[in-house]
Amino acid sequence: MTKKSLLLSLALLAFCFSLQAQTVEEMQQQKAAKEQELSNLEPQLKELQGKVAALKADVAGLTDKLTPYPRWDVGALGNVGLNFSNFNNWFSKSAPNTSAVNIGLTLGSFANLQQKKYFWRNNANLALAWLKFDDKDKEDDTDDFQVAADAFNVVSLFGYKLSEKIAISTLGEYRTAVLDGRFNDPGYLDLGVGATWTPVTDLVVVVHPLNYNFVFSSGDFDFESSLGCKVVADYTRKITDGVAWKSNLSAFLSYKDSDLSNWTWINGVTTAVKGVGVGFDLGLRSNKQEALAAGETDNPVQVYWLLGLSYALSTKK
């Protein structure tokens, strides 16, 4: 490399370093300017957010004052699941020739009344499912529909408001099965008084320390009624447009014997476009008396779930 070429290369290299240094310096200046602009805008944003929150509260308050009493909220939701299968000469399974049908449905309805000094909330839920399995190679195999899920409950809650969030309340809840001659055998009726807490619009928590759990039955097992505490929590949340979640926990805690306690927890998720969508229901239950009546020595958690098409209908007055 000649001396002239070397000098040219060094000059070019120095020029590149100079450009890079200038670019870094410019970016640092731009960063500092944007940070300063951001620090100036952040207080304005906080002020605007506060104003927006205050305006929302004012609008909600005015809407509440303009909405006449009585205020009714009425609605219904149904979920239907269907599954059909048929196998002929499918030798990779132990029973190569079978057919199966699974049908399930859940129905839920509510009618809630709001008055200035009191409220009245009513809910009813029904979950039914049938399973039919036929092994075509067994002549004595039953191909009748068998009950796979069976649960019905209705709840009525009345409360006198001490404040917007706290009320003195009384509750009645009835639970039973309805198929195969199981209606009211056993049947559970809770009647009690206590307090209801409504921390937010969509959450209702009931605590009734004075509650009697009546149990009705006509079978061989001697079901026992008892005095205890009733706890109910009902929550409904709109996750996003067209997607809603509803959860209900109902528990009875017996003062006499923990074996007489029971709880039921039902969750439902629905998607809907103009009322039609996909629904998923999951029910969990623990009831030691039912387990003993069925011949179980322990108390396993009872479970049912249903996935299918859903249809929702609701009205407000």
The highest-confidence range among 104-113, 169-178, 295-304, by mean pLDDT, is 169-178
The residues that bridge with 315 in the sheet, in sequence order, are 74
Omega cis (within 30) before 68 = no
- For the chain, percent of residues with pLDDT exceeding 70: 91
Stronger pLDDT, 77 or 4, i.e. the higher one: 77
**pLDDT score, position 239:** 82
Mean pLDDT, the chain, rounded, equals 86
CA dihedral 134, 137, 138, 139 (to 10 degrees): 100
Domain boundaries, the chain: 1-67, 69-316
Beta strand pairing call for 276-287 and 262-271: antiparallel
pLDDT over 90 at 51, yes or no: no
Residue closest to 280 by CA, chosen among 244, 250, 249: 244
The domain defined by 69-316 carries CATH number 2.40.230: yes
Residue-wise pLDDT tens digits, 251-281: 999 999 999 999 999 998 888 777 788 889 9
CA distances from 73 to 57, 150, 205, 249, 279 (A): 22, 27, 18, 21, 21
pLDDT of residue 76: 86
Distance, C-alpha 83 to centroid of its chain: 24
When comparing pLDDT for 210 and 84, which is higher?
210
Residue 244, both tokens: 């809603």
Please give the model's pTM, rounded to 2 decimal places.
Answer: 0.76
Give 182-228 pLDDT, tens digit per residue.
899 999 999 999 999 999 888 999 999 999 999 999 878 899 999 99
**Which pLDDT band, with edges at 50, 70 and 90, does 88 fall under?**
confident
Q: CA 242, 245, 246 angle in degrees (round to 5)?
A: 135
